Amino acid sequence: MVAVRNTIRFLLGNDLVEIDGIDPTRTLLDWLRIDRRLTGTKEGCAEGDCGACTVLVGRIENGALRYRPVNACIRFVSTLDACHVLTVEHLKTLDGALHPVQQAMVDHHGSQCGFCTPGFVMSLYQVWRDETAPDADRIERALQGNLCRCTGYEPIIKAGLAMGSGDRSADRWLAGQSDIEAKLHDLADGVRIEIEGDGRRLIQPASVDDLAEVYAAHPGATIVAGATDIGLWVTKGMAKLDPVVFVAHLDDLAQISVDDTGITLGAGVTYEDGWPALAKVFPDISELMHRLGGEQVRAMGTIGGNIANGSPIGDTPPPLIALGATVTLRHGIERRTLSLEDFFIEYGKQDRKPGEFVESIFVPRLPDNAHFRVYKISKRFEEDISAVCGAFRVDVEDGKVTNARIAFGGMAGTPHRAKGTEVALTGAAWDTASIDKAVAALAEDYSPLTDWRASATYRVRSAEGLLRRFFLETTAASSTRLVRERRLAHV
Amino acid sequence: MYSEARTTALKITGGVHEKRAHDSAHKHVAGEAVYIDDIVEPTGTVHVYLGLSEAAHADIATMNLEPVKAAPGVICVLTAGDVPGVNDVAPTGQADDPVFAEKRVMFYGQPMFAVVAETREQARHAAAKAEVTYSKHDALIDIPDDSSNADIVVTPLKLERGEVDNALEKAPRRLKGRMAIGGQDHFYLEGQIAFAIPGEDDDVLVYSSTQHPSEVQHMVGHVLGIPSNAVTVEIRRMGGAFGGKETQSNLFACVAALAAKTTGRAAKLRPDRDDDMVATGKRHDFVVDYDIGFDDDGKIHGVDMIYAGRCGFSADLSGPVTDRALFHMDNCYYLPAARAITRPVRTNTVSNTAYRGFGGPQGMVGGERLIEEVAYATGLDPLEVRKRNFYGDAPRNVTPYHQTVEDNIIARIVDELETSSDYAARREAIRSFNADSPVLKRGIALTPVKFGISFTATWYNQAGALVHVYQDGSVHLNHGGTEMGQGLYVKVAQVVAEAFQIDAEMVKITATTTAKVPNTSATAASSGTDLNGMAAKNACDQIKARLVDFAVEKHGVPAEQVVFLPNRVRVGNQEFAFPDFIKDAYMARVQLSAAGFYKTPKIHWDRDAGRGRPFYYFAYGAAASEVTIDTLTGEYQVERVDILHDVGRSINDAIDRGQVEGGFIQGMGWLTTEELWWDAEGRLRTHAPSTYKIPLASDRPKVFNVDLVDWSSNIEPTIHRSKAVGEPPFMLAISVLHALSDAVASVADHKICPRLDPPATPEAVLDAVYRLRAEAGS
């Protein structure tokens, strides 16, 4: 019998907070602003897109304290057990002086209306903690989840470039880190947590095995990892989830292992950790990594969540399907593995039985003769949901395609392979004439929808354009891609 | 406090023409700046949430609110029948803008009722429980293809000068076309909010996130059926507004006040972002029809234009917004013969409203299309066409509204920018890049801006201020302008510091409130500093005059020997620290408080005749933008932007630069990725940042060179010869649209005008690429 605790305990600044009985989906933002009257953290959108509510959350991960930027509007208080929460109010020094990050924002006129500013300060603070001399590229990436409507961002970037020169000893949290770490170690007692509040129930399993047991016993429960999607069910859909099973704290669900055959990602691996690991094995995936979500979403959202929620416009499935990934599902002590493409049955339906959850994903290595690319099309270049996400993989031997796997998101009710296009290419010469035929086949593979992200026509045209780009990039010298990130494997 | 050192300083800190941080910068970065939702709530504060319609045009067949009332925490539900005064918040007197729709709903998302509950969450959950059935009517969502017989919300404006038909007929070249220009959501980071505290008798204090406290005051009085003197409206700062809180805050304030007076408890109303975007007005989108006559030298002979604007279900500010579109169709160009009319079309969509530029940007985008058409028709560089048509000396200096342009500096600005941006050489380099680049294509454009400054509603061009000097020499400043991030407060404080010659730290900037300065105008039309700066200076001048009289009398010196030096006053050959001098004046019973006032001179406007001088002066600027597009996908990025912008003599270079940069990026968003998308039911589907895409940090130009014109001084005696800066830079972003167009044109060898309509989303760019390739047969 696993030990059970009925309270949540975490640190808010230096204060120990202990909560028993809380609405399982009460947001950290509301709790900070209403219950604690810490009103520096702002609500701009309540859906994790604008970053005005950014705070830092530290947790002992795999034995070491690590902070991540978090959208407090879609983070549930009850997921904060054994965490350390820092808000904009915690940055000033004890004698009231501004933190170097704050001072740089003042010096460079980084605020106008000021409403987004606390969120920017916290996102910059995360960078300041991680790096002493971040470049503009790094700062832009860190700010992909922060919207400012007034400044045009230039002064904020300048502040980011200048903040590193500030006095690091002025930061009381760096100075007191070992103390915080020790306290968090004490709080992380590894037990299961069960709490009831607002007539609803939450369970935090102690381990993956415990999760399997809990979920098998409560197959109607909602599993929540990063809450970057489910958070919106609550803040926008006003859902009253019951019971809720939280898994973001499970280190054993967030392991990454790489060997000669490929890479295995636990379902709880965040984008922030998973994509770089994938990019080491498949360098061409890196561009997509920087166009998916903002830093806060990448810090919270998980690869497993992106698959398990079955969205037709998630960015993880297309490249992993093209790469031939498999997914392992678990129910109790039973496991089964199936190809990722087969997991998606139709819109809103996946091959997942009640009580069964996504435990891990395996992505096999590519042979040396394979070409692989993944491209995203969205209205805004970054932090936007894909209109189309196209992933392409062909194995070419003696100028002929021996194997083709092409998958698209945004073109159908599920992430879906372009079977006709693959047939057109397989066995064909890897040349312009074959691509022309493949493009014609691609138009037959999908009948996409028109919506606010793109018209059906544009989806088809841009999908064709991506296929052509793939060919050009693997064969021609001319540049074919807008380069925002300077770390693409090709171009 | 005044230190010994400061009273011997050579110069004050924070005077005019000095770079100075925003007055709230320290509080912004520390999370200590108080916005309305941050104000400590009195015990028992209730929360209000709006119930919105789910049909674009329908009679409300049945509305069962019992489940709402029965929901947990609900105190009461308010509908039209609960309004004690008039159920209307129309800002310009048309009585067409109900607080709560009563029998008929006119757009999807229109408020029908409000729930009052113990918590916001309870109110919000309860509001969703209403059971409403609709009897639907045909809904007009878009501007119709033929808008000539469309229902309109206000009388159209017509501008006409010269023999237009004759000019068009006799022009060597002539062409016609149509352009669609998209709207824009304000996306202020702080959404709409109001917080009302009931007082004794009829009194109510309303904290409203508004650009127009006086209007909110009048509206609350109107809706509650109480006099204006019972209503106090206060706003310290907004988290952005951009025009979206000029009239759109009225409804929220009135509902909060109604809930407060109904329950006797403090009441707060803050909609969710999605509801805010669905239920509040936006920038008007337009369909522009143009007919232009010109010659082979690229000179315009005559134009005839129709600007049809989607106004939404009510008039709101659509009259003056569509008017201002016409006032800016000429941009910097002399039109020898010009006719233009507006069609303010009524649609079953949210009522569109003010947004930075107030129709001017749409007018200018339409006008710039004419330049582009002429350039592609003649084969000239668009910049050359622009320069050939610039306003010049008489008679080429009269606008279509018969105002003479007296302060024209655009030619010099464009010349300087052309040189500093290396436009010509880069244009050549781009052409050769494109010749060798089959997929990626670059484009460049340099576009000018001339923007008219003043409210075209002439009576709005007035302002008041209240200045107190206390016995310790510290100063309390209040004026009718509101702070939305633009730095108005700090600029006016600098004016006051300069007037008294005291450090700006001694000037306390206080929240805008109708109780201190009455009958104010909206902080809008870029006018904040022009109007309130002058009113504050007037107040200071009154006090200073009394102080001089006092010194003359007490010390027996002539008035010219009383001189305000930094933090001190010289009287004859004596010097007094400012606080000492003030204390003496107080002891001599000198009134140390004054109400200042200002009204803009020279302006007048006869709308029926389409003539007058609506603008006191013009602000100018120019921008050169370079972009790269991907012709396989339509994606693009902005490589470099060079800006030279005119703010006259800048009061605060840092603040003004922030307006220029920020305005540019916001304008760029409007013309590129910000797309409003309604479905067939009239439901706005881009109603949150997940679906409505404003620019990110990484969207800003890779190279961004921004300069203020350092030789400009307003020819009119404005406050310290500065110029308004809020709106004009927004239109510098037109250069991005035209650079994208230039890049698209390369796929057809620059022979065909791309007619790239904004917003130029990647989809729109790819569509234009396909269209041009098809037309060129390539």
Q: Does residue B729 sit at the A interface (CB-CB below 8 Å)? A: no
Contact B732, B447 (CB under 8 A): yes
Contact B693, B760 (CB under 8 A): no
Residues of A in Cβ contact (< 8 Å) with B657: 109
Annotated catalytic, B483? no
Beta-carbon separation of A379 and B673 below 8 A = yes
Question: Mean pLDDT throughout B31-49?
Answer: 98
Instruction: Give the pLDDT confidence score for residue A491 in this predicted structure.
Output: 45
Instruction: Give the pLDDT confidence score for residue A490 in this predicted structure.
Output: 53
Kindly report the three-state secondary structure assignment for every residue of B529-544.
HHHHHHHHHHHHHHHH
Beta-carbon separation of B189 and A50 below 8 A = yes
Residues of B in Cβ contact (< 8 Å) with A144: 696-698
How many Å apart are CA B413 and CA A389, to the nearest integer?
44
- Residue A477's pLDDT band, with cuts at 50, 70 and 90, is confident
- B428, B727, B763, B775: the active-site residue: B727
For B82-105, how does the pLDDT look when each residue is reduced to its tens digit (9 = 90+)?
999 999 999 998 999 999 999 999
User: Distance from B487 to chain A by nearest Cα, in Å?
Assistant: 7
Backbone angles phi and psi of B735, in degrees to 5: -60, -30
Residue A224 has pLDDT above 50, yes or no: yes
The SS3 of residue A390 is strand
Question: Mean pLDDT throughout B8-29?
Answer: 96
Backbone angles phi and psi of B568, in degrees to 5: -155, 165
Contact B386, B217 (CB under 8 A): no
Predicted complex: ipTM over 0.95:
yes
Q: Is the pTM of this model over 0.90?
A: yes
Residue B778 has pLDDT above 70, yes or no: no
Contact B518, B233 (CB under 8 A): no
For B325-360, how does the pLDDT look when each residue is reduced to its tens digit (9 = 90+)?
999 999 999 999 999 999 999 999 999 999 999 999
How many Å apart are CA B729 and CA B734, to the nearest integer?
10
How many Å apart are CA B529 and CA B722, to the nearest integer?
9
Beta-carbon separation of A113 and B704 below 8 A = no
How many Å apart are CA B233 and CA B206, to the nearest integer?
5
Pick among A380, A439, A470 to test the B interface (most B CBs inside 10 A): A380
Question: Mean pLDDT throughout B715-720?
Answer: 98
Question: Mean pLDDT throughout A313-338?
Answer: 97
Backbone angles phi and psi of B337, in degrees to 5: -140, 130
E strand segments, A243-355: 244-246, 256-258, 262-266, 326-331, 334-339, 344-346, 349-350
- Residue A489's pLDDT band, with cuts at 50, 70 and 90, is low
User: Distance from B761 to chain A by nearest Cα, in Å?
Assistant: 6
For A284-294, how does the pLDDT look when each residue is reduced to its tens digit (9 = 90+)?
998 898 899 99
User: Distance from A104 to chain B by nearest Cα, in Å?
Assistant: 10
In this prediction, what percent of chain B has a pLDDT beyond 90?
98
Pick among B696, B705, B732 to test the A interface (most A CBs inside 10 A): B696
Instruction: Return the DSSP state at B350.
Output: P
Beta-carbon separation of A452 and B632 below 8 A = no
Nearest CA in chain A to B127: A238
Give the nearest partner residue to A109 out of B38, B658, B663, using CB atoms: B658
Question: Mean pLDDT throughout B184-210?
Answer: 98
Residues of A in Cβ contact (< 8 Å) with B666: 149, 152
Instruction: Give the pLDDT confidence score for residue A117 in this predicted structure.
Output: 98
Beta-carbon separation of A42 and B35 below 8 A = yes
Beta-carbon separation of B654 and A109 below 8 A = yes
Higher pLDDT, B1 or B633: B633
Residue B622: strand pairing partners: B448, B644
User: Distance from A45 to chain B by nearest Cα, in Å?
Assistant: 5
Which strand (E) or helix (H) includes residue B703? strand B703-708
Residue A488 has pLDDT above 80, yes or no: no
For B534-567, how does the pLDDT look when each residue is reduced to its tens digit (9 = 90+)?
999 999 999 999 999 999 999 999 999 999 999 9
Nearest CA in chain A to B765: A458
Pick among B19, B24, B27, B29 to test the A interface (most A CBs inside 10 A): B29
How many Å apart are CA B676 and CA B683, to the nearest integer?
11
Residue B607: strand pairing partners: none
Residue A90 has pLDDT above 50, yes or no: yes
Q: What angle do helix axes B762-776 and A456-475 make, rounded to 10 degrees?
A: 80
Beta-carbon separation of A114 and B762 below 8 A = no
The B residues from 43 to 72 touching A (CB cutoff 8 Å) are none
Residues of A in Cβ contact (< 8 Å) with B438: 478
How many Å apart are CA B201 and CA B210, to the nearest integer?
25
Backbone angles phi and psi of B572, in degrees to 5: 60, -125
Closest CA to A383 of A292, A314, A302, A306: A292
Beta-carbon separation of A454 and B763 below 8 A = yes
Name the residue with tokens 């029998």: B103
Question: Mean pLDDT throughout B666-673?
Answer: 98
Beta-carbon separation of B663 and A152 below 8 A = yes
Residues of B in Cβ contact (< 8 Å) with A87: 31
Beta-carbon separation of A113 and B689 below 8 A = no
Pick among B188, B242, B436, B698 to test the A interface (most A CBs inside 10 A): B698
User: Distance from A124 to chain B by nearest Cα, in Å?
Assistant: 11
For A135-176, how does the pLDDT look when each residue is reduced to its tens digit (9 = 90+)?
999 999 999 999 999 999 999 999 999 999 878 888 999 999
Q: Cα-atom radius of gyration of chain B, to the nearest Å? A: 27
Residue B460 has pLDDT above 90, yes or no: yes
Residues of B in Cβ contact (< 8 Å) with A490: none
The B residues from 674 to 703 touching A (CB cutoff 8 Å) are 675, 677, 685-686, 688-691, 693-700
Q: How far is CA B102 from the centre of its chain?
A: 31
Q: Does residue B489 sit at the A interface (CB-CB below 8 Å)? A: no
Instruction: Give the pLDDT confidence score for residue B777 in this predicted structure.
Output: 87
For A402-411, how does the pLDDT look when each residue is reduced to its tens digit (9 = 90+)?
999 999 999 9
Contact B704, A154 (CB under 8 A): yes
What string of DSSP letters covers B208-255?
Answer: E--S-HHHHHHHHHHHHT--GGGEEEEES--S--TTTTTSTHHHHHHH
How many Å apart are CA B278 and CA B683, to the nearest integer?
8
The SS3 of residue B21 is coil
- Residue A482's pLDDT band, with cuts at 50, 70 and 90, is confident
Chains A, B: CB contacts under 8 A, how many? 270
Nearest CA in chain A to B486: A112
Beta-carbon separation of B187 and A149 below 8 A = yes
pLDDT averaged over chain A?
A: 95
Beta-carbon separation of B24 and A383 below 8 A = no
- Residue B2's pLDDT band, with cuts at 50, 70 and 90, is confident
Structure tokens at A172: 């009381």
User: Distance from B552 to chain A by nearest Cα, in Å?
Assistant: 43
Give the nearest partner residue to A44 out of B189, B436, B770, using CB atoms: B189
Closest CA to A405 of A414, A397, A394, A390: A394
Contact B117, B74 (CB under 8 A): yes
Closest CA to B540 of B634, B627, B469: B469
Residues of A in Cβ contact (< 8 Å) with B695: 152-153, 380
Residue A487 has pLDDT above 60, yes or no: no
Which strand (E) or helix (H) includes residue B477? strand B475-479
Q: Does residue B237 sit at the A interface (CB-CB below 8 Å)? A: yes
Pick among B20, B28, B490, B677 to test the A interface (most A CBs inside 10 A): B28
Omega prior to B395 cis, within 30 of 0: yes
Structure tokens at A453: 């992200």
Which strand (E) or helix (H) includes residue A231? helix A230-235
How many Å apart are CA B695 and CA A298, to the nearest integer?
19
For A398-453, how does the pLDDT look when each residue is reduced to its tens digit (9 = 90+)?
999 999 999 999 999 999 999 999 999 999 999 999 999 999 999 999 999 999 99
pLDDT averaged over chain B?
A: 97
Beta-carbon separation of B763 and A143 below 8 A = no
Nearest CA in chain A to B636: A482
In this prediction, what percent of chain A has a pLDDT beyond 90?
92
Q: Does residue B636 sit at the A interface (CB-CB below 8 Å)? A: yes
The SS3 of residue B279 is helix
Omega prior to B759 cis, within 30 of 0: yes
Q: Cα-atom radius of gyration of chain A, to the nearest Å? A: 23
Beta-carbon separation of A47 and B675 below 8 A = no
